[in-house]
Structure 1
Amino acid sequence: MELHDVWFVLIAVLWIGYFFLEGFDFGVGVLTKLLARDRAEKRVLINTIGPVWDGNEVWLLSAGGATFAAFPEWYATLFSGFYLPLLLILLCLILRGVAFEYRAKRPDERWQTNWEHTIFWTSLLPAFLWGVAFGNIVRGVEIDARKEYVGSVFDLLNPYALLGGLVTLTLFTFHGTVFTALKTVGDIRLRARKLALALGLLTAVLALGFLGWTQADNGDGASMVALVVAVVALLAALGANQLGREGWSFALSGLTIVAAVAMLFLTLFPNVMPSSLDDDWSLTVTNASSSPYTLKIMTWCAGIATPVVLLYQSWTYWVFRKRIGTQHIAPDLPHGTSDVPSDSAADVPSDSAPDVPSDSARDVSAGRAH
């Protein structure tokens, strides 16, 4: 296997990791409107991802950086042709981070409500737009003989890509709902499991249509195997959810994402960005890659850095592995009673919540444990 083939696989793995982790992250953000009934439950939901959301985005930075270094032609054409949707995703990610950081800085209800609206919309829009973007990459876009995108932004809004956007939105929200059931206690946990059933069934219908369409257009034997794995894993996740086995349900919903994204990359290879105008103008792993020496240096760097990243991120999830509920959230302070943000006051002593470590019980709506 040539190094450019290896890096195609590695970039696929980075995107799979990003969608697996940021998928439930986006899903929880959407659930702040769909599931939470009051401010305390919104704070519980935000706490479930507070210690990990920014670490999850490292996978996106790694995927983008690897694409830039390993396949500069792909990076240039992708980011110039998809400039507006990718810019919108970037703005959403920036505002989302600001919302996590600033939401708890003031006890004012209107202030916090506005930032909660921001968290919802900046979670929903990227979850949808990533599906639209990858749908267009797999389907093919208007690339000319100079390897440049010559279409318009409206060409990206085709039925196949829009269906892809609905699939990622519903799949990520389902993934986030299962994660919520895994990470919470009490009534919110039970309602999350009930909502997961409805979302899972909707996701199964949309995903089967999208993946079946993909298989019919570009599939082969390997992609068919990935399609079957994705569908079976999703149905198994629904079954585990109904049995109250949240850990298995979350693992299986994650496997659904892994198999679905793997299928897209399998149907794409050896192209990295097909041309809908002429197959000879498509960007491939060969004509879009960097020099062999560059790929060799990248391989050494990745071999050293990747285990370190995996270790510290795994440690973060281990530290914040316990469940939380509304009983672990301190009540809001009356407006004007303290200069300290009300959410930061929710540091629950470990002896008052024996099943939850004190760090996990802390209201980390500012994005991480303090």
Structure 2
Amino acid sequence: MPTKPAPRPDLARIHEAISSELEEVERRIQSQMATYQGVVGDLMGHVARFAGKRLRPSVCVLAGKALGQVSTIHFDVAVVAEMIHTATLVHDDVLDSADTRRNLPSVNTRWGTEVSVLFGDYLFAKAFALCASIPNRDVLLTMAETAKVMCLGELLQNVHRFNFALSEHDYLDIVTRKTAHLFGSCAELGGLASGCDAETREALREYGTAIGIAFQIVDDNLDLIGDEAEVGKTLGTDLDKGKITLPLIGLFERLDDKKRRDVQALISDPAARDKRRQVVDLIDANGLTDFALERADEHIAGAKARLAGLPRNSFRDALEALADYVVARRR
């Protein structure tokens, strides 16, 4: 008799464990964005409507709660992380020429490229102004290193556009830098602010990094096979911009030389019609539908293993459930 599939993790249920803490984080985020008039106020109000899953703040707060009580430092780290994340979304939409974000017009669609770049820079600066006020130098040093690594990851991704020889190792290096490093820092600093030892701090960083890698693998997979109405943003931009993601790497490894060259020519052709559908059909035909998600599952298993040294409590359980959610999500 076939085994029933496990129920998809419910993010709202996970958030119940830290509902009051997330309300405080949300209050502080809104406070950071609510003191402006004119075009800056309009921009702040617009990106405030991008409010997503708050995964990075959740990782920070849950790591802290798993080890004890949370403090103002946890809340400020969570806000800094979310502001950095929002800044990267604004810049990403410029790089991807994306029209929508969270089912709303992207900043560049509404205000143009120049304003979007400058506003993203402003959000970065504002995040670090808050970060510098946190009375723990390790927080500032960690977040400064994180921002540097994230920018390098985006730079590497950009210079490797249409690099059809990109390996899985190189792909993982890019996504670790541009996405996973921030998740790792949120988990690490959540533990640091709760007074954990160096070993636990490193384990939390590895947990966060692993779920961040899985998150980006799923995100890249959704860009190919997702539904725009459900995902809430412009899809297919990776193909259009020549970003070589894990599903494509798996496909290139499976095809013979001629078919590989044909697919690469298709991806390189800006006038090609139904490019996304044709690539997805090839992925399905070569038995690679679950290839990327299986890789993501491996990282999630590793992430949960890194939690073994934490006390067994509802917050550790929530960290494990959050890891499962990352690969089960559809948006």
Same fold? TM cut 0.5? no
Q: TM-score, normalised by structure 1?
A: 0.36
Q: TM-score, normalised by structure 2?
A: 0.40
- Greater gyration radius: 1
